[in-house]
Structure 1
Amino acid sequence: MDADLADDLVAVCRAVALLLPGGAAFSHLTAARLWKLPVSAAAEQRQELHVTGAGADRVLRTPRVVAHRGLGAAEVTSTKGVPVTSPGRTWRDLGAVDLAADGHPVAGVEPDHEELVVLTDALLSCHPLTDLPRYGLRPRDLVSIVRSIPGERGVGRLRRALAEASTFVDSSMETRTRLRAIASGFPRPVVGADLVGPDGAWIARPDLCWPQVRVAIEYDGASHVSRSRLGSDTARREAMERYGWRSVVLYATDVGARWWVTCERLREAFALQGCPDPARIPPAIRALERPRIVGVPL
């Protein structure tokens, strides 16, 4: 292999795939990376490749390859020209993997649990225009997987992650914001809802919101820095204000290094909307269809 391609995961997997027996596929964190799932920075830097073989035999005993066994034919597919475990099987395998680097919990959320919820949200995510599942998975599919592997290593972690997962999440930072807000005493928010006017005209789609008090969280990542995007974001938030909504805009440092300051901003937003005790609001139920909130102008 060309030395320039040594750090190219797809190129490396294509080379290694030439040595794999039939029915084997890349799995675990290697599969997650091939599927472009949002693995942690620590996981992204790991050099080993995970491969699972069919039946009881392990495959390809080499220093860089971590071999597993027990893969069913229906659990193998391909992406980028290499055999890989299906999204559902990849999720099942990730339950037994250490996903986070050693770190301190934020707002009491364990890092490894947070990473697994991030991956679960990503696997349940939908295309923003069609709401069709990106990976062909619905919550019921993950429930079926958990029920099919009682006693398997990692099943408890998968069950806990699924209990806190949400559909209609657009980024890993939205997941982290939601988990940390809930752990900090805020009720579970509505995720990815469409806010429309009385005539059905679309107004906005806040990342997280509490419709009872008209408070929303908007996470602004790198894609929001262009002048045109900033202009559309501002117009959308002004439209929300005309309907009595208050938006709390967050950036990466607000979710990570400044979380407790962010909590105070959220509490202030609730208080300004007439709710000094956010815990009194009932938690949102995870929606199977994208929520739709009809706004009433002030």
Structure 2
Amino acid sequence: MHDLGALCEAVELTFSDGDAWSHTTAAALWGLPLPSGIDLTATLHVSRGPGKFPSEAAGITGHVRPRTNHVTRHRGRPVTTLARTWLDLAGLVRPAALTGPDQGRVDARRATMPSLSSTHELSFMDLVCVTDAIVGRRWPAVPREELARALAWHGSRRGARALRRALAATRAFVDSPMETRLRLMLVASGFPCPVVGADVYDRDRWVARPDLCWPGLRIAIEYDGIHHLTDRQQMLDDVARREELERLGWRVLVLYADDVLRRWPATTGRVMQAFADRGVDPGNLADAPDVVVRPRIVEVA
């Protein structure tokens, strides 16, 4: 990001009124999750205002922006608004859609590929990761309704289908892009969409906040990133919370990056076994609905 910021600062010297960063450049400046395989400094995206010719130069892709109110400033830089950036990113989604667990596995692994790409192509899963991140922002807050209004304005322009699907698939209270990928891969593998970020209480005492769960079955999934392994206090807290959940009758599955990116068949087997131990066929359960208030699950030990 430091290199991108320095490059943007230099290019902004050539900006005229109304010019702004857009597409993946704006997304990176906003701090939205993008695949690590994208070389953000190889291609910069510049949006120009109504009536302006989208001039291009080496390493710069120009775009025409039909509305002046689609621009704001973030940390001193002119960028397209979060809603407009979301619309623009959908135009970069490749045609192949998320149609099954294999495609989900390919999309999830793609985010860790070391090779860099200057095409800035995205998958549908990438778009949902961005959508979750936008909806989950605290500042500036962008409620789902604002994205829905932006989509209505967008109409049938390029990416509209992907945007509609992403908005339907997004969930609030997601803590990381890997949690989004895990959720989508579970759904693509035939499991009902789990509840995201619910607070579990033992009567009136807070116990834990599983990343994903099926409360009716008392099955929880925790995705642990690297900090859960390197931060000693985090590890101790994790163990204590999981033991509390298990005391309340919960089954807790802990997943790491390799479980999602490299051992997905074995991972789905673990989840399927948890459902089987509860005597439930996952195909018979409905998806958890999206909610605007964090779910609260109260247990009585």
Specify if TM > 0.5: yes
Given the alignment of the two structures, is residue 279 of structure 1 paired with residue 283 of structure 2, yes or no?
yes
Measure the CA separation in 2 of the matches of 1:34 and 1:123: 13
Other-structure match for 2:11: 16
Spell out the pairing of 1:61-210 with structure 2 (5 A cutoff): 61-98=56-93, 106-109=101-104, 111=107, 112-126=123-137, 133-198=138-203, 200-210=204-214
> CA 1:18–1:37 in 2, change beyond 3 Å: closer, same or farther?
same
Q: Which structure is higher in helix share?
A: 2
Measure the CA separation in 2 of the matches of 1:122 and 1:186: 23
Other-structure match for 2:20: 25
Measure the CA separation in 2 of the matches of 1:85 and 1:286: 27
Measure the CA separation in 1 of the matches of 2:258 and 2:140: 30
Q: Deviations over 1:93-129 (max 9, x none)?
A: 001014799x997434373111111111111114xxx
Q: Deviations over 1:39-79 (max 9, x none)?
A: 00122456110000110313443111100012423211122
Give unpaired runs (5+ residues) of structure 2. Answer: 108-122
Q: Is the 8 A contact 2:151 2:164 kept in 1?
A: yes
Note the C-alpha offset of 1:276.
3.6
Q: Is the 8 A contact 2:100 2:189 kept in 1?
A: no
Measure the CA separation in 1 of the matches of 2:227 and 2:53: 43
Measure the CA separation in 1 of the matches of 2:86 and 2:173: 18
Q: Is the 8 A contact 1:40 1:100 kept in 2?
A: no
- Secondary structure of 2:91's counterpart equals coil
Note the C-alpha offset of 1:296.
2.3
> CA 1:100–1:227 in 2, change beyond 3 Å: closer, same or farther?
farther
Q: Is the 8 A contact 2:4 2:41 kept in 1?
A: no
Given the alignment of the two structures, is residue 34 of structure 1 paired with residue 58 of structure 2, yes or no?
no
Note the C-alpha offset of 1:295.
1.4
- Secondary structure of 2:14's counterpart equals coil
Q: Deviations over 1:249-277 (max 9, x none)?
A: 000010111011000000111222x2341
Measure the CA separation in 2 of the matches of 1:237 and 1:24: 50
Note the C-alpha offset of 1:134.
3.8
Other-structure match for 1:129: none
The percentage of counterpart residues that share the same residue type is 42
Kindly provide the amino acid, as one letter, of the partner of residue 118 in structure 1: C
Given the alignment of the two structures, is residue 267 of structure 1 paired with residue 261 of structure 2, yes or no?
no
- Secondary structure of 1:247's counterpart equals strand
Measure the CA separation in 1 of the matches of 2:276 and 2:125: 28
Q: Is the 8 A contact 2:196 2:212 kept in 1?
A: yes
Measure the CA separation in 2 of the matches of 1:90 and 1:282: 32
Note the C-alpha offset of 1:135.
3.6
Of 234, 241, 249, the match for 2:246: 241
Of 230, 234, 239, the match for 1:229: 234
> CA 1:162–1:150 in 2, change beyond 3 Å: closer, same or farther?
same
Report which stretch shifted further, 232-241 or 150-159: 150-159
Of 34, 42, 47, the match for 1:47: 42
Kindly provide the amino acid, as one letter, of the partner of residue 212 in structure 2: L
Measure the CA separation in 1 of the matches of 2:14 and 2:172: 38
> CA 1:51–1:105 in 2, change beyond 3 Å: closer, same or farther?
farther
Measure the CA separation in 1 of the matches of 2:189 and 2:100: 12
Note the C-alpha offset of 1:9.
0.4
Structure 2 length-normalised TM? 0.88
> CA 1:267–1:237 in 2, change beyond 3 Å: closer, same or farther?
same
